[in-house]
Amino acid sequence: MTVDLLLGLQWGDEGKGKIVDILTTNYNIIARFQGGPNAGHTLVFNGMKHVLHTIPSGIFHEKAINLVGNGVVIDPVIFKNELIKLDEHHIDYKKSLRISRKSHLILPTHRLLDAASEIAKGKAKIGSTLKGIGPTYMDKTGRNGIRVGDLELEHWKKKYRALANKHERMIAFYKVDLQYNLEELETEFFNAIETLKELTFIDSEEYIYQALKKGESILAEGAQGSLLDIDFGTYPFVTSSNTTAAGACTGLGVAPNQIGEVYGIFKAYTTRVGSGPFPTELFDEDGETMGRVGNEFGATTGRSRRCGWLDLVALRYACQINGVTQLMMMKGDVLSGFKTLKICTAYNYKGETITHLPYNIEAENVTPIYTEFNGWSEDLTTMKNDSQFPKELNDYISFLEEELDIPIKIVSVGPDRKQTIFR
């Protein structure tokens, strides 16, 4: 068997949670491989909305194993809160959750460092979710981090103290006004660690190897999106992990030749939350409409998301980097009612027309070149199959399939599980 991947192709929030939840019926194991509680994955079914941050989106299916892989960074406090929410729905997560011993822990001081760094940056801030992601990955690559497996060792608290003390000195170095009560934060943290320890820690790469050998199927659930990738995203306005296909190999311990399908998921338009360049961003009524109709508010921070037209230059780039084999287009319903729709098909880059993503996509270098499409007025949210689609939507979809040379297999027409059309 192979490991299939589901990856966001834009700046995150494409609707990964919804689709992973739906696809879970086809898989034995759902695995997160990078990121951490900066993610907010929304699932809607039976009239209820659930938001997951660290826990894989297959958790509501009784039969699937949900694995938090070695590439993920875990904040025990946020993780515990997620478990409490699952308790309300009587989810037997002790049976279905597994955590890699090699995943790293986000300490309270990592969160404080994130905040101090952002304050110090002022206007140049990344717009981080302030969950401590950057500082935790810095400690991972700096070889100072604390891993879940350390919790099984006797003296891990000594290691914790040394690292937290070092972080406090680093926070002071920033010379910013950051008020905090570490004692309170630590009480909460150590309580949450006890909850985490009730779960099953595993050597996940071996677990995956054996699962594949037995013929079990695995779906790797990406967090964030390709344009937030530490290497290929709009650096430095990115997250601190590889959100692209290669990240699944290192974040789970699977070899490249074990990757099967690569599902690439994108919104029918574009959104971004936090700072950084966004060539097709709209500052007019159209952008405001997308935000309002699409309810574009961050699932983790509640911040309003910036909105704009679909950027095919960036989308093509993401498909290339990831080796996408199937596409899923989300939130098509949000575009109902626009008289004209636009897709950015090329950039004017320093006076030249280009169709690849250049090194720098800041507004002073890049102006989007658009192709216009007729809009549709039909409400898509109650449609059950693609034979009901208006011609203009079919034209929009066919154009993208031709340009990207990849089939769009799912068109999502609303947040609910049921509002999903397979093609």
Among 299, 324, 343, 344, binds ligand GDP (CB under 6 A): 299
For residue 301, the minimal CB distance to Mg ion (Å) is 10
* Site pattern 41..60 for ligand GDP (x: CB under 6 A): xx-x----------------
Of 52 and 411, which has the nearer Cβ to ligand IMO? 52
> Considering the rule CB under 6 A, would residue 66 count as an interface residue with ligand IMO?
no
Number of residues located near ligand IMO, criterion CB under 6 A: 23
For helices 182-196 and 76-88, the axis angle rounded to 10 degrees is: 50
Which letter, b or e, does each residue of 47-59 get, where b requires 16 or more Cβ atoms within 10 Å of its Cβ?
A: eeebebbbbbbbb
Q: Which residues contact 89 (CB under 8 A, 6 or more apart)?
A: 50, 60
Place of tokens 């309580």: 191
For residue 259, the minimal CB distance to ligand IMO (Å) is 20
Q: Which of the choices ligand GDP, ligand IMO, Mg ion, none does residue 228 contact, using the CB cut-off of 5 to 8 A by kind?
A: ligand IMO
Integer angstrom CA distances of residue 216 from 27, 28, 30, 355: 8, 6, 11, 40
Collapsing DSSP to helix, strand or coil, 11 comes out as coil
For residue 14, the minimal CB distance to Mg ion (Å) is 8
Of 66 and 129, which has the nearer Cβ to ligand IMO? 129
> Considering the rule CB under 5 A, would residue 299 count as an interface residue with Mg ion?
yes
> Considering the rule CB under 5 A, would residue 247 count as an interface residue with Mg ion?
no
> Considering the rule CB under 6 A, would residue 135 count as an interface residue with ligand IMO?
no
* Site pattern 386..415 for ligand GDP (x: CB under 6 A): --------------------------xxxx
Q: Which residues contact 25 (CB under 8 A, 6 or more apart)?
A: 61
**Is 41 one of the catalytic residues?**
yes
Contact 408, 401 (CB under 8 A): yes
* End-to-end CA separation in angstroms for the chain: 24
**H or E element that contains 213:** helix 204-213
The dihedrals phi and psi of 408, each to the nearest 5 degrees, come to -95, 110
For residue 8, the minimal CB distance to ligand IMO (Å) is 5
Among 34, 117, 204, 239, binds ligand IMO (CB under 6 A): 239
Q: Which of the choices ligand GDP, Mg ion, ligand IMO, none does residue 15 contact, using the CB cut-off of 5 to 8 A by kind?
A: ligand GDP
> Considering the rule CB under 5 A, would residue 135 count as an interface residue with Mg ion?
no
Of 265 and 343, which has the nearer Cβ to Mg ion? 265
Place of tokens 């199959």: 385
Of 9 and 299, which has the nearer Cβ to Mg ion? 299
Contact 88, 122 (CB under 8 A): no
Integer angstrom CA distances of residue 21 from 37, 46, 65, 343: 18, 13, 13, 29
Among 333, 345, 376, 410, binds ligand GDP (CB under 6 A): 333
Taking CB under 6 A as the binding criterion, the range among 39-47, 66-74, 86-94, 170-178 that sits at the site for ligand IMO is 39-47
Of 10 and 204, which has the nearer Cβ to Mg ion? 10
> Considering the rule CB under 6 A, would residue 35 count as an interface residue with ligand GDP?
no
> Considering the rule CB under 6 A, would residue 334 count as an interface residue with ligand GDP?
yes
Q: Which residues contact 183 (CB under 8 A, 6 or more apart)?
A: none
**Is 311 one of the catalytic residues?**
no
The dihedrals phi and psi of 38, each to the nearest 5 degrees, come to -70, -25
Which one is catalytic: 4, 13, 114, 229? 13
The dihedrals phi and psi of 89, each to the nearest 5 degrees, come to -105, 15
Place of tokens 């950084």: 276
Q: In the window 1-20, what residues touch ligand IMO (CB under 6 A)?
A: 8, 11-13
The neighbouring-strand residues paired with 311 are 344
Contact 122, 115 (CB under 8 A): no
Which one is catalytic: 41, 50, 104, 167? 41
> Considering the rule CB under 5 A, would residue 13 count as an interface residue with Mg ion?
yes
Q: Which of the choices ligand GDP, Mg ion, ligand IMO, none does residue 239 contact, using the CB cut-off of 5 to 8 A by kind?
A: ligand IMO
Q: Which residues are catalytic?
A: 13, 41
Binding site for ligand GDP (CB under 6 A): 8, 12-18, 40-42, 44, 294, 299, 330-331, 333-334, 412-415
